[in-house]
A = this chain, B = another copy of it.
Amino acid sequence: MGSAIALQGERAKKAARELAKLGAAARDGALSAIAEALLADTAAILEANARDFALARENGMRAALLDRLLLTEDRVKGVARGILDIAALPDPLGRSDGESSRPNGLRISARRVPLGVVAIIYEARPNVTADAAALCLKSGNAVILRGGKEAHNSNSALVETMRRALRESGLPEDAISLVADTSRESVGELMELTGTVDLLIPRGGAGLIKYVCENAKVPVVQTGVGNCHVYVEKTADLDKAAGIIFNAKCSRPSVCNAAETLLVDAEIAAEFLPKAKKLLDTKNTELRGCPETRKILPEISAASETDWGTEFLDYILAVKVVSGVGEAIEHIAKYGSGHSEAIITDSYAAASRFTDEIDAAAVYVNASTRFTDGGEFGLGAEIGISTQKTHARGPMGVEQLTSLKYVVHGSGQIR
């Protein structure tokens, strides 16, 4: 049928038209009201979350995922603070990217406007519900949230509170709505809402993202698949390099900006690899090496062809010895996912060549790939990290949730 979601889409579209008429003060005021309402409703939100949590534990959810599902009083406070931070960002709407005057007297300007209706499909993290809603409201978009079923009670409570705050602020409550149906079917229905959904953002596992990107009829931004590399060039400060690969791999292995493969110049491999391994061993990181790597670290297992293309999202690191920056660039071109790539070097030429030739959302010199993040990039927050080259690339903040329209003023011109 799909009629429930189609109707929800229609209501969101109507709300989007109302939102588009509002100034920044009204949107920011509503964000403040939402933050306040979430604090006021903390008890009800925690109660709903406790039901999700109990059920998920009963169903054997892993500890790391349970922790992402859990809300506490402090975490709700954090969510509310995050919304106020988003409210405090500069207004992404309304300004014109310069006005040009054409020879025929037409004056043309490109005005920043909302996209309209943004739909987001995401995993069992209730904080995404509030973040995504706030980013969309800040940028004048209506949002349709399709969260995971494991967090459905929490999401329902959060959305109910946010909708009440919208109503009380005089804004259309349908600017924020949650898809009631958490089955796979509702994903398919959202993907087909052409003419209603202006942008669909899938977040979650690589399989879901690929499925949505390849099958959606509405515009999609591909997010978050990160097969990231750290390349240690022969002139690198090896202690810094070891610190960076340890951070890129181990500070949070489950995220998309974590490193999955270490590339090391042959000239320094014998000195560097044991140094890096010592740090990585502190987190029991499993290394999988190429033949050259295993001559230096014979105790580690062999990397398979599949390993070079795998986003492990775990304490596993593929390791390859390369002849220099050229081979490193070729390897990344072949296996990388265009997310984040780093070179550790003291060579100006190597750094320039790497930043010029690597085709990725973010290219780092002497820093960890872990910085690819809306907050770290100064965008305030992010709704996802785009790994495609159209519409947006890298962390997507409120600017990336806007479009433009050309406004043309004339005095009777014809062509």
Residue in B356, B365, B407, B414 whose beta carbon sits within 8 Å of that of A368 in the complex: B414
CB <8 Å contact, B390 and A390: yes
* Interface hits, A191-226 → B, CB 8 Å: 194, 198-199, 213-215, 217, 219, 221-222
Residue numbers in B under 8 Å from A100 (CB-CB): 378
Interface-forming stretch among A177-185, A243-251, A263-271? A243-251
Contacts of A391 in B (CB 8 A): 219, 390-391
Flag if A244 contacts B412 (CB, 8 Å): yes
Stretch touching chain B among A68-76, A144-152, A167-175, A398-406:
A398-406
**Bound state CA distance, A116 and B333, in angstroms?**
13
Say if the beta carbon of A160 comes within 8 Å of chain B: no
Give A215 to B191 CA distance when docked, in angstroms. Answer: 11
A86 to B390, CA, bound (A): 22
Return the contact of A219 from the options B106, B388, B413 (Cβ within 8 A): B388
- Do the beta carbons of A414 and B244 come within 8 Å of each other? yes
A412 adjacent to B366 (CB under 8 Å): yes
The answer to whether B403 touches A333 (Cβ under 8 A) is no
16 more A-B residue pairs beyond the given contacts A377-B406, A393-B406, with a C-beta to C-beta distance below 8 A: A17-B357, A20-B356, A100-B378, A102-B378, A115-B389, A115-B390, A116-B389, A214-B217, A219-B388, A362-B406, A363-B406, A366-B409, A367-B409, A367-B414, A368-B414, A391-B391
Choose among B359, B372, B376, B403 the residue that contacts A393 (Cβ–Cβ < 8 A).
Answer: B403
- Judge whether A282 is part of the interface by a CB distance below 8 angstroms: no
Please name all residues of chain B whose beta carbon is closer than 8 Å to the beta carbon of A106 when the two chains form the complex. 367, 371, 376
Interface residues of A: mostly helix, strand, loop or mixed?
A: mixed
A182 to chain B, nearest CB (A): 25
Q: Is A411 an interface residue (CB 8 A)?
A: yes
* Docked CA distance A389–B112 (Å): 11
25 A-B residue pairings within 8 Å (CB atoms): A102-B377, A106-B376, A108-B378, A115-B389, A194-B213, A199-B390, A215-B217, A219-B389, A243-B412, A244-B412, A247-B414, A358-B405, A359-B405, A360-B405, A361-B405, A363-B406, A363-B407, A366-B411, A366-B413, A367-B408, A367-B413, A389-B403, A390-B403, A393-B404, A394-B405
Most chain B CB atoms below 10 A, which of A246, A357, A368, A390: A390
The answer to whether the Cβ of A410 comes within 8 Å of any Cβ in the partner chain is yes
Q: Which of B362, B366, B370, B413 contacts A405 (CB 8 A)?
A: B362
A220 CB → nearest B CB, Å: 8
Within 8 A of B (CB), among A221-260: 221-222, 237, 240, 243-244, 246-248, 251
Residue of B nearest to A13 (CB): B333
- Cβ B367 vs Cβ A221 within 8 A: no
Q: Do residues B214 and A413 form an inter-chain contact, with CB atoms below 8 A?
A: no
Interface residues of A in 14-37 (CB under 8 A from B): 17, 20-21
CB pair B413 A371 closer than 8 Å:
yes
* Cβ-based interface call for A364 (8 A): yes
On whether the beta carbons of A410 and B198 are closer than 8 Å, the reply is no
Instruction: Tell me the bound Cα distance from A413 to B221 in angstroms.
Output: 29
Closest 4 CB pairs of A and B: A367-B410, A247-B414, A389-B403, A214-B217
Tell whether A355 is near chain B: CB-to-CB under 8 Å: yes
Interface presence of A415 (CB below 8 A): yes
Are A363 and B408 in contact, CB atoms less than 8 angstroms apart?
yes
Report the separation of the CA atoms of residues A21 and B329 in the bound assembly, to the nearest whole angstrom: 13
Report chain B residues within 8 Å CB of A406. 361-363, 372, 377, 393-394
A388: chain B residues within 8 A (beta carbon) = 198, 219
Closest residue of B by beta carbon distance from A14:
B333
B221 touches A194 (CB 8 A): no
In contact, B366 and A414 (Cβ under 8 angstroms):
no
Most buried by B among A20, A100, A361, A403: A403
